Structure 1
Amino acid sequence: MPVKKVILALIGVALIMAVGGCTGTGPKTLTAFVGSASKPPMEEAARVFQEKTGIVVYLTFGGSGSLLSQIELSKSGDLYIPGSPDYMVKAEHKDIVDPASVKLLAYLIPVIAVPSGNPLGIKSLADLARPGLEVGIGNPEAVCLGLYSIEILDYNHLLEDAGKNIVVHAKSCEDTATLISLKSVDAVIGWDVFQHWDPDNIEVVYLAPEQLPRIAYIPAGVTRFAQDVESAREFLQFLISPEGQAIFQKWGYITTEEDARKYTPAAAIGGEYQLPDKYSQILKNGGS
């Protein structure tokens, strides 16, 4: 009998622990799918937010398009934070994100990123069409930066000529920056913050103001699948608070429209761009 009592007691303890786990006695958690264009400040912001609130934010980084597909297929995730408004527009059209929840976190300026010292003397967008130059971009079908790259070349009538020099389509913004850090290519079309990610190895060349059709920004919103909408909204409020914005500024991100417009006063902000039909033909003729 004593043995039976011990067994019953152990079963009782196990049941109590199981019930306790179901009641959510542990820390609150959130899952955010984040375009890697904002990786450094988002990692720091999540850490500071946890210290302040006890809420753990798990971050999944990658290309904005790939992440959106993951959310759609898994029907999970509390927050979607792509690297540009293009993918937030897609998320809203698919009813994956609550439009009323969307916040603007920071602005991004497209640039040409080259190895420190600019060894090939690249000074303009037209230089990307030089014969023999090797250029990298983000995958325009899954990475917001890649989409902006094609749009900029197309807008400036350089898509055919510079497109022949595109040898790599990186799977994320982070991988695009790494191409320059490792000197795997001669130049990439990137974001201005790349120089702050790796100041020892990356230098940027700003484009002429009239060459930029749009200013990019990082939006953030609560998904329709969020398990804890209140906590998700709390994290978004932290990101746009003075403390949250200071974290973005620390990493070199622009947080006001006024400062963003210094680089291109007349460009549109936000919007959406669709890959042109001729892009596929250019890939066949020379791009990889």
Structure 2
Amino acid sequence: MVTRRNYTNMTVILITTLILVTFLGCGKGEKKASSLFIHCGSSMSTPIQEIGKQFKEKFGVNLEYNFAGNEALLPQIELTRRGDLFVCHDPYADFLAEKGLLDEENVVGYLAPVLVVSKGNPQKITSLKDLTRPGIRVALGDPRFQTCAEMVHKRLKEKGIEDSVMKNVVLESRSHQELGNAVKLGAADAAVVWNFIAVMNSDALDPIWTEDKYPEIKVHICLLSCSTNQELGRKFLQFASSDESKEIFRKYGYKLFSKKG
């Protein structure tokens, strides 16, 4: 999980670049807008844009997005007080609440680390331990920036194989898509990524079921307490939390995997 120390460091880095735009703050007394500003973690960009397109077509509301890592977006929201909604994964909804920035939130999907290999599994990889085999090229997330990578490194430590796996790492990235692409293009034999990467790249990647257990990571849509348009923001929250919208998240792989898939 993302630590409070990592989050604090990111806040300090962003203060100098964001302090000049705090005048964009969103006091509740401001005039309501006919548009919404949505902060969205980059891992959730695909489903939220599809849902946003449907919302715009139905209600004629313009949507402006700010895509970045959750760890970068939270300090922006805290410092600028700008925006109506925040689409994030655990533990960032809790961080919002602690800072008094959360008005309402709903869970719309789930994230989980998944081991992926090239289609057909040419290296016959069936477990995390197989990532220690000589010659196996591994792509992993950077635990300084990825919740997924933090979880995976913790699991590798518990199994006593972290050092052996790291000797085989050929790519460390904060981007899940980059990790998946490394396997797709043959630059790596295996990667551990969020579940949606396996689903969205199912033409080139196979997910490998392992017995490894990870904490449940929920995807949240949060209405910000600093929103300039609470009524419209709540309408989007309800729309994006409907059964139809949740099905869009499931379609793109934001669901808990089982041995049966």
TM (normalized to structure 2)?
A: 0.77
Matched residue type, 1:175: E
**Which residue of 72, 92, 104 corresponds with 2:97?**
92
Q: 2:246 aligns to what SS in structure 1?
A: helix
Deviations 1:92-121 (A, max 9, x none): 33x1631x5121110123210112222222
- The Cα offsets for residues 135-176 of structure 1, whole Å up to 9 and x where unpaired, read as 222222222222222233234333232233333332233333
Q: Quick one: distance in 2 between partners of 1:109 and 1:188?
A: 13
Aligned runs of 1:54-65 on 2, under 5 Å?
54-65=60-71
The equivalent residue for 1:156 is 159
8 Å CA contact 1:63–1:173 kept in 2: the answer is no
Task: Note closer, same or farther for the CA distance 1:156–1:77 as it changes in structure 2 (3 Å cut).
Answer: farther
Q: Which amino acid aligns with 2:147?
A: C
The aligned counterpart of 1:206 is: 209
Question: How far apart are the structure 1 equivalents of 2:207 and 2:160?
Answer: 22
Distance 2:258 2:205 in 1: 22
Once the two structures are superposed, residues 56-113 of structure 1 have per-residue CA deviations (whole angstroms, 9 ceiling, x without a partner) of: 222333322122233334432222222x3123333333x1631x51211101232101
- Rounded Cα–Cα distance in structure 1 between residues aligned with 2:229 and 2:187: 42
Cα distance change of structure 1 residues 143 and 72 upon mapping to structure 2, 3 Å threshold: farther
Change (3 A) 1:196 1:230: same
8 Å CA contact retained: 2:197, 2:253: no
Q: Indicate how the Cα distance of structure 1 residues 134 and 76 shifts in structure 2: closer, same or farther if over 3 A, else same.
A: farther
Does 2:51 correspond to 1:45?
yes
- Out of 195, 198, 201, the position equivalent to 2:198 is 195
**Is 2:36 the counterpart of 1:33?**
no
What is the root-mean-square deviation in Å for CA atoms of aligned residues?
Answer: 2.6
Which deviates more, 45-54 or 69-78?
69-78
- For 1:54 and 1:30, the matched residues in 2 are separated by 11
CA distance in 2, matches of 1:32, 1:202: 31
1:177 paired residue among 167, 177, 180: 180
After TM superposition, the structure 1 stretch with the greater mean CA deviation from structure 2, 147-156 or 50-59, is 147-156
Rounded to whole Å, the distance in 2 between the matches of 1:224 and 1:167 is 43
Does the 8 A contact of 1:96 with 1:223 survive in 2?
no
Letter in 1 for 2:175: S
Distance 1:185 1:103, change over 3 A: same
CA contact (8 A) 2:151 2:214 kept: no
Q: Amino acid of the residue matched to residue 75 of structure 2?
A: S
Percent pairwise identity: 27
C-alpha displacement of 1:32: 1.7
Letter in 2 for 1:103: N
User: Highest Rg: 1 or 2?
Assistant: 1
CA distance in 1 between partners of 2:93 and 2:170 (Å) = 28
Describe the shift of the 1:163–1:106 C-alpha distance in structure 2 as closer, same or farther (beyond 3 A): same
Out of 128, 136, 155, the position equivalent to 2:131 is: 128
Task: Provide structure 2 residue ranges, at least 5 long, that are not aligned to the other structure.
Answer: 1-29
Determine if contact 1:108/1:215 at 8 Å carries over to the other structure: yes
What amino acid sits opposite 1:160 in the alignment? Answer: D
* 2:7 aligned partner: none
Shift of 1:191: 2.2
Q: Unpaired segments of 5 or more residues in structure 1?
A: 1-21, 255-259, 264-288
Contact kept? 1:129, 1:165, Cα under 8 Å: yes
Structure 2 equivalent of residue 79 of structure 1: 85
Partner residue in 2 for 1:139:
142
In 1, are the aligned partners of 2:42 and 2:68 still within 8 Å (CA)? yes
Is the CA contact (8 Å cut-off) linking 2:110 and 2:216 kept in structure 1? yes
